[in-house]
Chain A
Amino acid sequence: MAELIAKSPCEGLVPATIGGMSLTEEHPGAMCAVAPFKGQQKALSKALEAAHGMAFPAPNRATGKAGSRAVWFGRDMALLMGPAPDATLAEHAALTDQSDAWAVVKLDGKDAEDVLARLVPVDLRNQVFKRGHTVRVELKHMMASVTRTGPQAFQIMVFRSMAKTLVHDLKTAMEAVAARG
């Protein structure tokens, strides 16, 4: 059997440090879409709480903490990032493995909001978009998921096939913001 070497989506593209901001790749581990069956959201939330210690997120919210997160991912769907889903979740929800399907990067720095303001048509400033908030949104014509993970830090996700474009667009915006001084 061939020896296959695992390659992360952004390998060779990041890390980058521009204008005091850093762009790094996140390695979230297992990723699984969790879509509750009709009328099962409350039961699923309880099962998720029991198995992984976090509730099913409300729209535009993320629950859990670094290393074990549930990010709202669309209508009646969340993405469980970190732990492999417990078998009890399958009683209440459709589980779809998404590991390796998404490129996940972290943008950190005091001008991170200004960088994203150039790419995302949603207000991501701290006064309205706080820690634990998330959006499914367009990022330069790509379907993206943006989650605030800290006062100056964002987790940004796009399909793996768009990793290079994502990094290019982010770096270009970081350079442009840095050039303004």
Chain B
Amino acid sequence: MRITCPLCGERDRREFYYKGAALVRPAEGADLDAWHEYVNLRENPAGPLDELWYHEMGCNSWLKVTRDTATHEILDVQLASEAGLGGET
């Protein structure tokens, strides 16, 4: 499995650390249901899934990687900072 880092180019999976699903962080003041969903509820698809990966052996960027969980095909990679996941100030 190889991930094409937007900064470093195509790199081997061993350079990356896996975090989990890439979810949009609820806005400040969101209700309990929104936070419950963000913290606890996860999809478990056999197919494309948005995930967070950290390029710890490379440029130290957090990436939003769209990966097919059935085939490990990498469909899309972008910097998490530019992926609109919320939390921006």
The A/B interface has a contact count, at CB < 8 Å, of 40
Q: 12 A-B residue contacts at CB 8 Å?
A: A60-B8, A75-B59, A75-B79, A121-B12, A122-B11, A135-B8, A136-B58, A137-B58, A138-B14, A138-B57, A138-B58, A143-B57
Interface size on A, residues (CB 8 A): 12
Task: Give the residues in chain B near A135, CB-CB below 8 Å.
Answer: 8, 58
CB pair B15–A121 under 8 Å, yes or no, is yes
Q: How far is the CA of A135 from the CA of B14 in the complex (A)?
A: 16
| Residue B60 interfacial (CB < 8 Å) | yes
CB pair A138–B15 under 8 Å, yes or no, is yes
A121 and B8 in contact, given A74-B59, A75-B59, A137-B57 (Cβ under 8 angstroms): no
Q: How far is the CA of A75 from the CA of B55 in the complex (A)?
A: 10
Q: What is the chain B residue whose CB lies nearest that of A139?
A: B57
Task: Give the residues in chain A near B9, CB-CB below 8 Å.
Answer: 60
Task: Give the residues in chain B near A137, CB-CB below 8 Å.
Answer: 8, 11, 15, 57-58
Nearest-Cβ distance from residue A120 to partner chain B, whole angstroms: 10
| Residue A64 interfacial (CB < 8 Å) | no
Task: Give the residues in chain A near B7, CB-CB below 8 Å.
Answer: 59-60, 75
Nearest-Cβ distance from residue A67 to partner chain B, whole angstroms: 26
CB pair B61–A75 under 8 Å, yes or no, is yes
Q: How far is the CA of A135 from the CA of B55 in the complex (A)?
A: 13
Nearest-Cβ distance from residue B74 to partner chain A, whole angstroms: 16
Q: What is the chain A residue whose CB lies nearest that of B15?
A: A138
Nearest-Cβ distance from residue B4 to partner chain A, whole angstroms: 13
| Residue B56 interfacial (CB < 8 Å) | yes
